[in-house]
Structure 1
Amino acid sequence: MVGQRVHVVGAGIIGLSIAHEVARRGHTVTVLAEQRAQASVSSVAAAVWFPYRSGTSPSLPHWLLAARARFEQLAGDPATGVDLREGLVVERDHAVDRSWTAAVPQHHEATPGELPAGAVAGMWATVPVISMPHYLPWLEQACADRGVTFTARRVARVEDVAGGADLVVVAAGMGSGALLGDAALYPVHGQIVRLPNPGLTQWVTDTAHPEGLTYVVPRRDDIVCGGVAQVGSWATHPDPAVEQAILRRVTALVPALAGLPVLSRATGLRPARDALRLEPVAGYSVPVIACYGHGGAGVTLSWGCAEAVADLVDRT
């Protein structure tokens, strides 16, 4: 196989994972993006590998397992920022869908005494937790180590980056829709608060909390608390009232958080689509592959989708 010149548009976790995998197959890769990964929505992610609302593609089980396997492998290297940690999935409905447990070998039922008020059940699970302040710089360097080059530029049209490329991959998150004329992509606004970590390791998610999506994810240096999932909202600045509501919910869920100072806050627009798009796209001067619409599952699906894109590149 003769290596191709591949331009990847997008430097978030999806774009970088694709760049790494395509370069690993022997292709020459250039990443083009206006901002580096640390300034993308990927940097806002709490980043627990978890198959929640991760799509309906028939390839989903394979992508999930491939990504989990890679993260578990990376957890063996402290420099990556990946750790395997136990956490609690709170359930408030007896008919809740537990199909996700098929993708998580290490899980068991929570006891009534381990549940917050109002919960009817819960599951403990051990999964990868990815500390994005460590992981994104590591992933950038891992790409560079494989010969990936980076060009800082705003990409307005696919044809603008087709010159000098044998193939273009569009993995630009919310920017992908405009590049490919896809009106099916929409934002899901999120907001988080970061607190200092007094030594907590267990994460907890309460997606059906009556007052809104609630999660607490301890990382190495801080705790990410959320959250918000406002479909269709383009808001880009933290709302103080929303922040106070988040703090009330997470403190009730994890009392050890009470009184901790706020280190920082952030918002992000999850790039959502009713069906994740991972496919070749016709109509351009060079072959184009689309990979976007991951919503809040970008981290969870990253390596699986990257391998799938690399397979398409190899066959093109």
Structure 2
Amino acid sequence: MGVIDDVIVVGAGVVGLTTAVRLAERGLRVRVWSRDPVTETTSAVAGALWWPYRIEPAERVGAWALASLRVYEELAAADPVATGVRLVPGVHADTVRDGLGAWAKEVDGLRQLAPEEVPGPYEVGLAGRLPLIDMPVHLAWLRGRLTALGGVVERRVVRDLAEAGSAVVVNCAGLGARELVPDGGMRAVRGQLVLVENPGVDTWFTAASGAAGASSETTYFFPQPGRLVLGGTAEEDAEVLEPVPATAASIVARCARVRPEIAGARVLGHRVGLRPAREGGVRLEARPLPGGGLLVHNYGHGGAGVTVAWGCAEEAARLATEH
């Protein structure tokens, strides 16, 4: 394939914008097409803590996640206010370092806790200082970075990837890939959050399951500027976008078992997002388009789009420019 200078990226969530930035940094003219405003994408709802959770394929995720971790560490050191990225201490309950992938050995400062150090009704925990991303701020920063590089974001509903008429199209449509590709392996995993006034919590906490046998329940809280984000749920094939009051009450109660002061915190709002999970995991590959063009797929990141965004973006940019 010859030299390209024009790329369409479909999707303006964290994966789409990060990919667009990496492409623009290579000197390409990049246009992002998005059905929704950047601030109303699924990514805008995310918690969002760096951690390779519920994402496949395992043999590729570690490298993507570690590449992203290094970028977030740089952004946190450079300007946490503008980028929305901070390094914050916290605990993953019910987690053993030796049970994680090889990537965990590359994460500085992970420490297995003694039982008496684990907060709440948990006996096992892993402590770490990890990137915590304020997604509305970070998405705005990504868009600003792209604009500074000459890229543009356009509101546009794409019904066929061939619409682009560009030499290279990068598909970062998330759950939209279900119809757009089409990909019958895409599944929505519903996440519900509660935003409350922060009663003084300055560390994050996660536990994969809220109760025995309740695999759709998770327990976590993330201190973000101006709010404490409480979660959550992981409900497969559930696509109700309205918050469920009983679910919200259960989320608050689970978090309060870890930090009792959360029980009385004033509720600021509720959020629901549909994670774009895919059977077989992330699809990141290039395919030829009729007429000599190239289609690069970069979707299916589930709830870990933030965690692998930069690593996947770098690979997608390489596929787009080296074919």
> Which residue is equivalent to 1:61?
62
> Which residue is equivalent to 1:251?
256
What code does the residue aligned with 2:27 have? G
Identity %, equivalent residues: 35
Q: Could you say what secondary structure the match of 2:275 adopts?
A: strand
Task: Determine whether 1:229 maps to 2:234.
Answer: yes
Structure 2 CA distance for aligned equivalents of residues 184 and 39 of structure 1: 24
Could you tell me whether the CA contact under 8 Å between 1:12 and 1:36 is conserved in 2?
no
Structure 2 CA distance for aligned equivalents of residues 175 and 96 of structure 1: 36
Which ranges of structure 1 fall in alignment gaps of 5 or more residues?
none
Q: Could you say what secondary structure the match of 2:88 adopts?
A: strand
Structure 1 CA distance for aligned equivalents of residues 150 and 135 of structure 2: 22
- How much has 1:121 moved relative to structure 2? 1.0
Q: How does 1:150-189 map to 2 (within 5 A)?
A: 150-162=153-165, 165-189=166-190
Q: Could you say what secondary structure the match of 1:299 adopts?
A: helix
Q: Could you say what secondary structure the match of 1:227 adopts?
A: strand
2:223 pairs, out of 205, 218, 221, with 218
Could you tell me whether the CA contact under 8 Å between 2:120 and 2:257 is conserved in 1?
no
1:309 pairs, out of 309, 313, 316, with 316
TM-score (norm 1): 0.94
Could you tell me whether the CA contact under 8 Å between 1:237 and 1:267 is conserved in 2?
yes
Give CA deviations for 1:81-114 in whole Å, capped at 9, x if unaligned: 100011101018x898333632422111223222
Could you tell me whether the CA contact under 8 Å between 1:48 and 1:129 is conserved in 2?
yes
Q: Could you say what secondary structure the match of 1:147 adopts?
A: coil
Q: Kindly tell me: are residues 15 and 178 of structure 1, through their superposed partners in 2, closer, same or farther at Cα, counting changes over 3 Å?
A: same
Task: Determine whether 1:10 maps to 2:17.
Answer: no
TM-score (norm 2): 0.92
| Paired residues, number | 313
Give CA deviations for 1:201-224 in whole Å, capped at 9, x if unaligned: 210001133152111111122111
Structure 2 CA distance for aligned equivalents of residues 64 and 200 of structure 1: 27
1:113 pairs, out of 96, 106, 116, with 116
Could you tell me whether the CA contact under 8 Å between 2:231 and 2:251 is conserved in 1?
yes
What code does the residue aligned with 2:41 have? S
What code does the residue aligned with 1:281 have? R
What code does the residue aligned with 1:299 have? V
Could you tell me whether the CA contact under 8 Å between 2:113 and 2:127 is conserved in 1?
yes
> Which residue is equivalent to 1:48?
49
Pick which of 228-237 and 110-119 moved more: 110-119
Which ranges of structure 2 fall in alignment gaps of 5 or more residues?
none
Give CA deviations for 1:66-85 in whole Å, capped at 9, x if unaligned: 10000000002131110001
- Name the Cα RMSD after superposition: 1.8
Give CA deviations for 1:146-188 in whole Å, capped at 9, x if unaligned: 11112111111111222xx111011011101211121111110
Could you tell me whether the CA contact under 8 Å between 1:11 and 1:32 is conserved in 2?
yes
Structure 2 CA distance for aligned equivalents of residues 215 and 69 of structure 1: 24
Q: Kindly tell me: are residues 231 and 95 of structure 1, through their superposed partners in 2, closer, same or farther at Cα, counting changes over 3 Å?
A: same
> Which residue is equivalent to 2:142?
139
> Which residue is equivalent to 1:209?
210
1:293 pairs, out of 285, 293, 300, with 300
Could you tell me whether the CA contact under 8 Å between 2:175 and 2:275 is conserved in 1?
yes
